[in-house]
Chains A and B, each alone.
Chain A
Amino acid sequence: MNLKPIVTIVFMILFSLNNAYSQTSMPNINIKTLEGKTINSKTTYNKKGLTVYSFWATWCVPCINELDDIHNEIQKWDKANVKIIAISTDDSRTKRRIRPLVNGKKWDFKIFLDENQSLKRALNIDAIPHTIVTKGNKIIYRRIGYKPGEENYLYDFIINNSVAKN
């Protein structure tokens, strides 16, 4: 078995880890509103508190479970001074389902479209669901995947960090 390529890759990772620092912010990428208008991702954050960006798609069952679970307790979340943004990564196959689905579920999250996955790529997101929390424009938390109950952990994280801000 030729291990050379693996060694190269591992070497590269070690190199990069050495250089790691996590202070990143939302990149400057054009995404779209549900009506098809272009908007810059950098302008979407909550100016007064924290923002949760949830990357989802209409065909992704765990993504919908997470957003449903947040929606079911939305009154609790509303009080936490947090803006919830659901970024749909549906491409042209399924994007037409977004508006009926969101309204059929009565979600009142802000929804944006990342149709050719430019923002997803810029943030190096490989799989959804993927959740990002920003304070101002600065990323303070990221998570891949969703398991039932994780919305409670996210909620606690938001409460703790909102308090710290005040």
Chain B
Amino acid sequence: MNKKTILILFIFLYNTTSYSQLFKYTTASFNSFSAYYLDDSKTGDFNENNRFRSNNYLNIKSNIDKNWNLELQVESYAPNSLLNYSPNFKETNLSTFNIAYNKNNLNISIGNFYEQFGSGMTLRSWEDKNLGINNSIRGLNTKYRINDEFNITALIGQQKKGFKYSKGYILGFDSEFDFSKITNGSTLLLGLSYVGRNDQRTKSEFFPETTHMFSGRLDYSSNSFYSNIEIIDKSKNPITVFGSLSNTFIKKGSSLLFNSGYFNNGFGIDFTFRRLENMSLFSEREAYGNPYNESIINYLPALTKQHDYSLANLYVYSAQPNVSFQTNDLMKVGEIGMQIDLYYFLEKNTFLGGKYGTNISVNGAVWNNLDGNFDFNNQNYDTDLFGFGQKYFSELSLEIRKKWSSKFDNIFLFINQFYNSRFIEEKVGEVNSNVLVLENTYKINDKKSLRFELQHLSTKDDNKNWSAYAIEYNLNSAFSVYFSDLYNYQNPKQEKKIHYYNFGGSYSKGINRFTINYGRQRGGLVCTGGICRYVPESSGLSFSISSTLF
């Protein structure tokens, strides 16, 4: 769609909202992330075209009347996107457009829509601007709530990738039954889903053009206990071997998820087990392994604790749902593992709890390759249902949050990690590391506060030890300034002992926020919500605007 059409659409929307009573309310938001990249004597020169890069998003939603809603999003990349976003994001265009009808228990949506079935393991379309993900589906989505106990969803469409659309089609059906009326105070939900992906472009006599996924899930909750299970069966699909689809290596996939938890006032425990075998599915078969997370149909996040501190995110696990035969001692067919979380509150006015009480949380996770018989030469395998193969990753963490007085509190975090780079990233080596974090917040008065963060990562492997610190000063409710530094002080290569310093500030007032930052970014995996992408090292000035206009 060209710019003129977008402008006309916009003016149409503007005029209708301004001069008629048709639209009940309109809301819009604008986001802009820009950077001016600089040459850096330590991390190298900027060798791409266009030093100035900017990602801009304008989103408008409107209630046309009680039943009709309209939404559109225009995106502009000036003329290239920030480093390492998909090349499909280029220049200015209409990104998403949707008209939805909502009456009584019926919801019909035409255009781009976001949807998730169950936990998303069969289907999830969502947007994450930081990761450059917008895999909304363009087509038809119908939801009908038959009664309080039963609702269904049916959809068909093509998936968005950048400003383009995948050639493959997605067909989905989901149903949810609520049996709570007969379970006497507890909740019991049953969900059944189907997702089909039809990709005619890769038509072959060796495998079917449609891949099917059938899924069933059961959720039980009572006052202080819950448990759920989800099982998925995925039909045969060719494995991608060194970048091309195999005509002989064609396998089924499956997934098993079990989760249970118990909680009582002041105490909570949660346990999750998951087994994934050959489970990733893309709306185009050829999109397998693309570095931009484009054309992902199902959401298979890493089930580990998501950390908020930079050194805790140096060696991040990403889920391993795929079949990958690299050499005869590097063969992956999926993952199996578990995670446990414990939360405990030490009461106020006790010896350990102190005046304000103390929060303690523990997390443990371990993820392995599936075990079985792998045949590299004949490209085939069999797996054991509960067999644990080569270990990918494990982590144990302890977090203590303590408020000492009305002015001072801190967070202490300790993490012990094992990261198998060879299997996770298909590189070399393993990393055993310990991370320590201490965050202190001092409230000077109601408006002013000071936050000071210290981090250390110690390891004998990879690039050895790191240290990091950050200082943030909140001048008042609007202004905030910070300085932070990450330093790989034990890197065996002298020239790689680099300070990744950053300083900047933010101004936020109500629903508007502006930030500015100058510094050096560490390259590597950037992960949000269990989905990761690689970013190169860079230096420069960056700024962002986030504003909900009305």
Interface residues of A (CB under 8 A from B): 1-6, 8-9, 12-13, 15-25, 28, 34-38, 58-61, 65, 68, 72, 91-94, 96-97, 99-106, 115-118, 121-127, 141-145, 147-150, 152-153
Q: Tell whether B374 is near chain A: CB-to-CB under 8 Å.
A: no
Interface CB pairs A-B, < 8 A, 21: A1-B50, A5-B56, A5-B78, A5-B79, A9-B30, A15-B10, A19-B26, A37-B180, A61-B308, A93-B530, A101-B343, A103-B263, A104-B263, A105-B359, A106-B265, A116-B116, A118-B114, A121-B114, A126-B546, A142-B510, A145-B508
In the complex, chain B residues whose CB is within 8 Å of the CB of A38? 145, 151, 176
B14 touches A19 (CB 8 A): yes
In the complex, chain B residues whose CB is within 8 Å of the CB of A37? 178, 180, 187, 189
B299 touches A92 (CB 8 A): yes
In the complex, chain A residues whose CB is within 8 Å of the CB of B79? 2, 5
Partner of A8, one of B7, B189, B267, B449: B7
* Chain A residue with the shortest CB-CB distance to B26: A19
Interface residues of B in 110-124 (CB under 8 A from A): 114-116, 119-121, 124
When A2-B79, A149-B447 are in contact, do A92 and B550 touch as well, CB less than 8 Å?
no
B58 touches A12 (CB 8 A): yes
Tally the A-B contacts, defined by beta carbons under 8 Å: 231
In the complex, chain B residues whose CB is within 8 Å of the CB of A35? 187, 219, 221, 226
When A60-B308, A145-B513 are in contact, do A6 and B550 touch as well, CB less than 8 Å?
no
Interface residues of B (CB under 8 A from A): 3, 7, 10-11, 14, 17-18, 25-32, 50, 52, 54, 56, 58-61, 74, 76-79, 91-92, 102, 114-116, 119-121, 124, 126-127, 129, 145, 151, 176, 178, 180, 187, 189, 219, 221, 226, 259, 261, 263-270, 272, 299, 301-303, 305-308, 341-345, 356-357, 359, 361, 401, 403, 411, 439, 441, 443, 445-449, 451, 474, 477, 480, 506, 508, 510-513, 529-530, 546, 548-550
A100 touches B189 (CB 8 A): no
A103 touches B264 (CB 8 A): yes
A5 touches B530 (CB 8 A): no
Partner of A91, one of B301, B403, B477: B301
With A and B bound together, what is the CA distance between A145 and B509 in angstroms?
A: 10
With A and B bound together, what is the CA distance between A150 and B192 in angstroms?
A: 44
A100 touches B91 (CB 8 A): no
With A and B bound together, what is the CA distance between A135 and B102 in angstroms?
A: 25
In the complex, chain A residues whose CB is within 8 Å of the CB of B76? 5-6, 8-9
A124 touches B27 (CB 8 A): yes
When A28-B102, A104-B268, A148-B474 are in contact, do A20 and B549 touch as well, CB less than 8 Å?
yes
Cβ distance A159 to chain B, nearest Cβ, rounded Å:
14
In the complex, chain A residues whose CB is within 8 Å of the CB of B302? 93
B50 touches A96 (CB 8 A): no
B548 touches A124 (CB 8 A): yes
With A and B bound together, what is the CA distance between A102 and B121 in angstroms?
A: 25
When A100-B270, A118-B114 are in contact, do A8 and B3 touch as well, CB less than 8 Å?
yes
In the complex, chain B residues whose CB is within 8 Å of the CB of A150? 477
B263 touches A20 (CB 8 A): no
In the complex, chain B residues whose CB is within 8 Å of the CB of A94? 306, 529
Beyond known contacts A99-B263, A100-B269: 16 more, CB 8 A cutoff = A1-B78, A9-B56, A9-B92, A16-B14, A24-B27, A25-B25, A59-B306, A91-B530, A93-B529, A102-B268, A104-B345, A123-B27, A144-B510, A147-B449, A148-B443, A149-B443
Cβ distance A114 to chain B, nearest Cβ, rounded Å:
11
B221 touches A103 (CB 8 A): no
In the complex, chain A residues whose CB is within 8 Å of the CB of B480? 147
In the complex, chain A residues whose CB is within 8 Å of the CB of B301? 91-93
In the complex, chain B residues whose CB is within 8 Å of the CB of A103? 263-268, 343
In the complex, chain B residues whose CB is within 8 Å of the CB of A116? 114-116, 120, 124, 126
Cβ distance A142 to chain B, nearest Cβ, rounded Å:
5
In the complex, chain B residues whose CB is within 8 Å of the CB of A3? 78
Partner of B92, one of A8, A25, A124: A8
A122 touches B265 (CB 8 A): no
With A and B bound together, what is the CA distance between A126 and B29 in angstroms?
A: 9
Partner of B508, one of A13, A19, A144: A144
In the complex, chain B residues whose CB is within 8 Å of the CB of A152? 446
B361 touches A101 (CB 8 A): yes
B114 touches A19 (CB 8 A): no
With A and B bound together, what is the CA distance between A94 and B361 in angstroms?
A: 14
With A and B bound together, what is the CA distance between A22 and B120 in angstroms?
A: 34
In the complex, chain B residues whose CB is within 8 Å of the CB of A58? 306
With A and B bound together, what is the CA distance between A148 and B473 in angstroms?
A: 11
Cβ distance B29 to chain A, nearest Cβ, rounded Å:
4
With A and B bound together, what is the CA distance between A144 and B550 in angstroms?
A: 14
In the complex, chain B residues whose CB is within 8 Å of the CB of A102? 263, 268
In the complex, chain A residues whose CB is within 8 Å of the CB of B511? 142-144
